[in-house]
Amino acid sequence: MHDTTKNKAIFFDRDGIINRRKIGGYITTTEEFVFIPDFFTVFAYAIHKNYIPIVITNQQGIGKGLMTIHDLRRIHTHMQQHIRLATGADFDDIRFCTSLAQDNDQRRKPNPGMITESIQQWNINPQQSWMIGDSQSDIIAAQAAGVRTIYIGNSQDLTITTADHIFATMSELNENLHRIIE
Ligand SMILES: [Mg+2]
């Protein structure tokens, strides 16, 4: 039975889900931020189904000194403007962790800290929520927070993931959205 006193959310990883990954580097400018076209349909569907859309992203490029928080905020402002233009809505919340991998910060994926903070702040029922990510760390973090998972990745990764649903691309998720996200 659905708990109507709580909200539901879709947590989106950023790089590889909203925008194309930059192989071997970090997105440090708006010019490098290239949307994945199928993201917009997935986002619009989330809004239509009353999910709170939230970004959960590791950004250790800041911890490494390769970019600043100001750079990141500029990229996210640009991102939000484009999503609003395309869909009429934008993300309610953008959570990022700038810590280095070796810091083992509880907020940094695969740890669930950013997701559990969101669950508290937005009064979210994790069991009615989803995480969409393209790394095993997205899936591990979401599962630790009790959130259902959709993994976007290539067949090599399929053997290691324990996600509830697996699709090769955002386009493939798009084709199956109505079937899996109620
Ligand atoms: Mg990613």
In the chain, where the domains are located: 9-180
Q: What is the pLDDT of residues 120-169, one digit of tens each?
A: 999 999 999 999 999 999 999 999 999 999 999 975 655 567 899 999 99
pTM of the model: 0.95
The CA 2 to ligand 1 mean position distance, Å, reads 30
The CA 21 to ligand 1 mean position distance, Å, reads 7
Reported CATH class of domain 9-180: alpha beta
Task: Please indicate whether residue 13 is annotated as part of the active site.
Answer: yes
Task: Please indicate whether residue 93 is annotated as part of the active site.
Answer: no
pLDDT (0 to 100) of residue 98: 97
The CA 22 to ligand 1 mean position distance, Å, reads 10
Q: How far apart are CA 42 and CA 170, in angstroms?
A: 8
Tokens representing 126 are 């994790």
pLDDT (0 to 100) of residue 181: 95
Q: How far apart are CA 161 and CA 136, in angstroms?
A: 6
